[in-house]
Amino acid sequence: MDDKRNQLPVMSRFIIFSVLFLFFIFVTGSVAFVLSMRQIIRLNKGNELSQLLEIERVKLETSVNNEVVIALKMADSPLVKRYFSNPDDLELEKTAIEELVSYQNAFASGIIFWVNDIDKMFYYNDLEPYIMVPENPDNYWYNMTLFETEVYNFNINYNPDLNVTNLWINAPVFAPDGKSIGMLGTGIDITTYIEMINKNLAGRAEIFLFNAVGEITGAKDSVLVAEKQNIEDALNIGSVAILAMAKELAPHETLVLDTSLGRIALGTVPLLEWYSVAIMPDSIDDYKTGMTALFIVVLMVIVVIFIIFNFFISRLLKPLRRSMIDAEEANRAKSAFLANMSHELRTPLNVVIGLTDLILEENTIAKHVSENLHKIGNAGSTLLSIVNDILDFSKIESGNITLMPIEYHLSSLLNDVIALMNTRIAEKPVVFKLNINENLPSRLIGDELRVKQILNNLLSNAFKYTETGTIELTVNCVSANGSGGESKKDVWMEIIVSDTGIGISKENLKKLFTDYYQVQNRISHKIEGTGLGLSITKRLVQFMGGDISIESELGKGTIFHVRIRQEFVDDTSIGSDVVEQLSRFHYADDKRRAGKKLPVRADLSFARVLVVDDMQTNLDVAAGLLRKYKMQVDCVMSGQEAIDLIHLGGTQGEPVFNAIFMDHMMPGMDGIETTDLIRGLGTEYAEKIPIIALTANAIKGTADMFFAHGFQEFLPKPIDITQLDSVVRKWICR
Ligand code: ADP
């Protein structure tokens, strides 16, 4: 189970990365392919269209030319001329018609027509002739051919009955004296011609012909020709001025353009004074090429390579993953071991420190015994701080640390920190200076205990490594707006701790924040410590979104700069009075002798308390400390016994105890379960009685857990007599 949970993120991250990478290759490859293919296709299409137009032009002009040649030959025939001059000569007419029919067979379209200027009879193939009226505007071509044309002309018309468009070749017939005596010609079926071309193009392209005024003269859709639609309107390609561009073309020149319709080519048909346009729209079919097939094959190959590659990588990762999991497990085991160890160490330490304190308070002991007891007490305290460091460090390492932000008073935080340093201040000829400013915010929100821990670590180092000179603590607060602060309410608390101590060499500075690292020198051998203080400090600072830096010179001293993010409550500042009090406090204490300041204990002889702990020595310590208040102390060694006592109450069931001091870790029913059961007993007494947790597990941060389970307070073991005093004052009253 655990195994799976651990390997999943690595593997899934790897798979997600591979899939995304593959997708990226896919997309970029396809886009690049489509773009370059489009470019190639368009280039090819342009060339193809130009060639197409040129071929069709040549074909059209050649066939028109052929017809023109035949028509001119016919117009030049002496027999035809004679017949046109004497239309009434039936003999002549018969032979002339025979000749004309032979010409008719030579025309590709098989169309022939003629009119002579005498009887104006219009002959069309073998249809019945009729009289043609030149004045009719529809017959404009007659006078145009006879009187304005020297060799031949063209005209075009649409026959709605047959739905065909014809290009007519009209040739005047001249008498030997040069007078025009009639006309003849043939028709070319443009509709069929355009149909043929477009059929050959099989929908890939479309060709239009248009004249110099832009009227369509040839199109697949014959309606366009019949209605003489404008080419630009018909094609609807926006602002591209096809007609103007076509007119710019030299004879036989072609021009390729990119338009919204796709690639188009413009060409000319000089013989007819027409223009041509060929359009090849963009189509998905354009991509049905060998190149596309090749591209798909390449993509498939990439996919296969990817799959094989992933397979190999996952196999390679397996042992790596295994060792990562093992390392993580080992690390967890180590952290758990350290946490357990420190818990186990704190319990006997409680006895050592507690009993030492108790004995030291006896006035009857001899001086040398008291001195030795002081040493035992100090050694116990040192051991306790080491154990605390190890516990903290293992918590940080195993990621179990959480910040517990609360609103706190900056002045009381500073007060506590300075108070803790007091014993140190008196030990050596060192001057302690506090630089704070009256404008510092009075209240802040943050993990007060952790901020204290940072300050204590830095200051106790400064005291440890400074024999003479000055130690300075500077605290500033600046708004964190616009400098990485997440909300308007963030402030940076800047802490500077400087000393004139032994300093740290350059090469040692680099290793300073390494876990368990202690600078090896003669002096530090004599100084206690675990080498964890700075590592813990650094991690806590980082946890608070801040940073830490250090400047140091061997023999001259050290300066630590720390910046942590706290939340701002309001504009109230600590004020000059508090600044003065804090400064006075330590100056006064400066001169004080070393040693713990013992609380003046109140007389609480009216009170009766219950202590619950599974270890007799712990009961002795707690009961001893509490009896200093002259109160009656009852001891029991299990949760059940405590419940029974509370349940019974006094003889009348009335309240008996003023408070309960409850050990946390007990075999069987632990302190939390016991408290839950007491609270559930149902009497007002059981509900209200103050219960104070005693715990060797009491690392900063567990307070909330106790409060959530109905405890009023908690006291870490070894019990600190000052802390105990404030708890007693708060909760045991008449
Ligand atoms: P320790 O518990 O040994 O003090 P720290 O992590 O707090 O561990 O410090 C690591 C090392 O850094 C110390 O052993 C000491 O050599 C050096 N050091 C820390 N603070 C100072 C200081 N103010 N002046 C000189 N050396 C210091």
* pLDDT value at residue 303: 87
Beta strands in 175-284 (DSSP E): 180-189, 206-211, 216-218, 255-259, 262-269, 274-280
SS3 277: strand
* pLDDT value at residue 43: 84
* pLDDT value at residue 283: 78
**Is the CB of 502 inside a 6 Å radius of any atom of ligand 1?**
yes
Number of neighbours of residue 41 by Cβ within 10 angstroms: 21
d(CA 257, CA 265) in angstroms, rounded, equals 6
Does the pLDDT of residue 518 top 80, yes or no? no
Pocket probe for ligand 1: among 465, 473, 552, the residue whose CB has the most ligand atoms within 8 Å is 465
Q: How far is the CA of 53 from the centre of ligand 1 (A)?
A: 91
pTM for this structure?
A: 0.48
Contact 324, 10 (CB under 8 A): yes
Contact 83, 181 (CB under 8 A): no
pLDDT band at 169; cut points 50, 70, 90: very high
Q: Report which protein residue has its CA nearest ligand 1's atom 2.
A: 529
Does the pLDDT of residue 674 top 80, yes or no? yes
**The ligand 1 atom nearest the CA atom of 501:** 24
**Is the CB of 458 inside a 6 Å radius of any atom of ligand 1?**
no
**The ligand 1 atom nearest the CA atom of 535:** 6
Maximum pairwise Cα distance, the chain: 173
Does the pLDDT of residue 63 top 70, yes or no? yes
Tokens found for residue 88 = 């009434």
* pLDDT value at residue 530: 67
* pLDDT value at residue 520: 54
Q: How far is the CA of 465 from the centre of ligand 1 (A)?
A: 7
Q: Report which protein residue has its CA nearest ligand 1's atom 18.
A: 461
Residue matched to tokens 């036989």:
252
DSSP 344-411: HHHHHHHHHHHHHHHHHT-TTS-HHHHHHHHHHHHHHHHHHHHHHHHHHHHHHHTT------EEEEHH
Give residue-wise pLDDT tens across range 202-223. 777 888 989 889 988 888 887 8
Does the pLDDT of residue 284 top 60, yes or no? yes
Q: How far is the CA of 580 from the centre of ligand 1 (A)?
A: 31
SS3 157: strand
Amino acid at 124: Y
d(CA 439, CA 575) in angstroms, rounded, equals 6
Give residue-wise pLDDT tens across range 442-460. 899 999 888 988 999 999 9
CA distances from 98 to 92, 111, 114, 182 (A): 10, 15, 13, 18
Does the pLDDT of residue 9 top 70, yes or no? no
* pLDDT value at residue 671: 92
Give residue-wise pLDDT tens across range 536-585. 899 899 989 999 999 999 999 999 999 999 998 888 888 888 888 777 65
DSSP 302-336: HHHHHHHHHHHHHHHHHHHHHHHHHHHHHHHHHHH
Give residue-wise pLDDT tens across range 127-151. 899 999 999 998 899 999 999 989 9
Q: How far is the CA of 461 from the centre of ligand 1 (A)?
A: 6
**Is the CB of 461 inside a 6 Å radius of any atom of ligand 1?**
yes
From first CA to last CA, the distance across the chain in angstroms is: 56
* pLDDT value at residue 515: 59
**Is the CB of 557 inside a 6 Å radius of any atom of ligand 1?**
no
